[in-house]
Amino acid sequence: MEYDVVVKNGTIIDPKRKKSTVANIGILNGKISSITREEIKGNVELDVRGKIVCPGIIDIHAHVEGNLDCAKVLAAMGVTTVYNGNCGMSPENINEFYKKYDSFLINQIEQIGHTTLREQAGVTDRYKSSSDEEIKKMKFILEEAFDLGVSGLSFGLEYVPGSSSKEVLELAKVAAKYGKLVSIHTRSDCYGGLSALKEAIDISRKTGAAVNISHFTYQFGMGMATEALHMIDEALSEGLDISVDSGLYSGFATSIGSAVFDEGCVEKWGCDYSSIIAGTGKYRGQRLTKDMYEELRRDYPDHTGIGMVGEEYEVFEILEKPYVMVCTDAGTLYDNGVPGHPQDAGTYPKFFKTMVREQNRINLIDAISRCTYIPAKRLGLINKGFIGIGADADLLIFDAKIIEDKADYPCFGATDTRPEGIEYVFVNGVMTVKGKEVLDVSAGKTIKDKCNLWNWE
């Protein structure tokens, strides 16, 4: 038999079996068809002796939504699948989205966002709670979205501070009814975030829904990570269906006009305006003054603000927890094709470099699992996240000895510099990345979920 692609002599790491071995992989029709030490032939043959061959990265918290510039940056560091629609923000017309992006550079999975549901129900004031009639309408739209193939429900409660506990719980009950994951950007960060974390955990406790807490470092990495992690540990010991994702940066990014940057934010964070950096727009790369902050809030609310308010050591404290999945939070804010934050281009190489090679906090197999197999299981992706016969041929091949992020905050350097150490990336059996070159292919698919009533099994 001749395969489409043969990857020869690589060090294969399968996080599902927690095994590492040297072998050849034969790819045929987008699937892994052979794993063997025998000589096999392919139309394309790659000798990757000494390099790691692992599943492609599944980013469980992204905002790509068909943004090709973002997809290229993510692909360049090994991302093959993204879970979009986080923080309450999702495409307005999900059916049109599915049609438009049936073929794309990488695989995309969609959630529907609470903020989007509010807008579709006529609730445009972020400081206003929804009426019973508006909640009823949101629930109807939510069920329709699940029927179309949407995989989950997301909340960005910090972006809509007026949202009531009632509307949140009513929508979460619908997600629980169909066994859909509920992703939650909590209602507040910093020390106020601890009570907001309790609210998020209580959603699982009160509705039975599976809950994923979004970008944990950005919400609780400001001096209160230990307390927040203890709350997660207690919830898990209680048996609640809770998971966590987190990134590699202590400075978060979002639109400067959002409620996250409402007046009083610098007092809450215990800093001054110079701790906010413009990530995009006219002041890109500059630290803000009060006047600049007010101007951007007033005239350029969609520009990126980067809050340099986290504690670097807490990034690693959070990521040491075995249940924490690695994510980017990539894709929300681009300026002429360039991201406003280095997370889009550097997250996963930074993870392997710092957590594995430099600090030896976790081993390579566990590190790969946090980026591939664990998110695949959380999202119900039965053919992704592992190396095995019949698995989708989403593969990352990299050099563990030199893999390194090169992107930086815009005040220090370029946010989109490609990482070192990435050899090849395959999406559904098609080569997507070769070295630092992202190829002009559209092998990715929009992945839809079935809408079945939840059952214990």
Tens digit of each residue's pLDDT (9 = 90 or more) over 382-414: 999 999 999 999 999 999 999 999 999 999 999
The structure tokens listed for 279 are 């990530």
- So what's the pLDDT on residue 64? 98
**What percent of the residues of the chain are helix, what percent strand, and what percent coil, each to the nearest 5?**
30, 25, 40
- So what's the pLDDT on residue 332? 72
Supply the DSSP symbol for 385: S
Bridge partners for 326 per DSSP: 246
- Amino acid letter at 215? H
- So what's the pLDDT on residue 72? 98
- So what's the pLDDT on residue 190? 87
- Alpha-carbon distance of 74 to 332, in angstroms, equals 13
- Alpha-carbon distance of 138 to 118, in angstroms, equals 7
The structure tokens listed for 310 are 């986290």
Give the phi and the psi of residue 277 in degrees, each rounded to 5. Answer: -110, 140
In the chain, where are the structural domains located?
A: 2-54+391-439, 56-254+305-379, 255-304
- Amino acid letter at 292? M
Q: Do residues 201 and 228 lie in contact, with contact meaning Cβ atoms separated by under 8 Å?
A: no
Q: Strand 19-28 to strand 52-55: parallel, antiparallel, or no bridges (unpaired)?
A: unpaired
Degrees to nearest 5, angle at CA 51 with 50 and 54: 140
Q: Strand 422-427 to strand 430-434: parallel, antiparallel, or no bridges (unpaired)?
A: antiparallel
- Alpha-carbon distance of 384 to 265, in angstroms, equals 40
Residue appearing with tokens 């079935």:
450
Domain 56-254+305-379: CATH superfamily is: Metal-dependent hydrolases (3.20.20.140)
Q: Do residues 158 and 188 lie in contact, with contact meaning Cβ atoms separated by under 8 Å?
A: yes
- So what's the pLDDT on residue 456? 85
The structure tokens listed for 9 are 């002599």
- So what's the pLDDT on residue 192? 81
Degrees to nearest 5, angle at CA 92 with 91 and 95: 80
Mean pLDDT by 10 residues, the chain (457 residues): 96 98 98 98 98 98 98 98 98 96 97 98 97 98 98 98 97 98 96 92 98 97 96 98 98 97 95 96 97 98 96 97 97 90 98 97 98 98 98 98 98 96 98 97 97 89
Bridge partners for 26 per DSSP: 6, 34
- So what's the pLDDT on residue 376? 98
Which residues lie closer than 8 Å to 381 by C-beta, 6 or more apart? 58, 81, 447
Using DSSP, state whether 313 is helix, strand or coil: helix
Domain 2-54+391-439 has CATH 2.40.50.140: no
- So what's the pLDDT on residue 173? 98
Supply the DSSP symbol for 157: T
- Alpha-carbon distance of 251 to 203, in angstroms, equals 27
10 Å CB burial of residue 226 (0-12, 13-18, 19+) is: exposed
The structure tokens listed for 60 are 């469980």
Q: Do residues 186 and 196 lie in contact, with contact meaning Cβ atoms separated by under 8 Å?
A: yes
Q: Do the two domains 2-54+391-439 and 56-254+305-379 of this chain adopt the same fold?
A: no
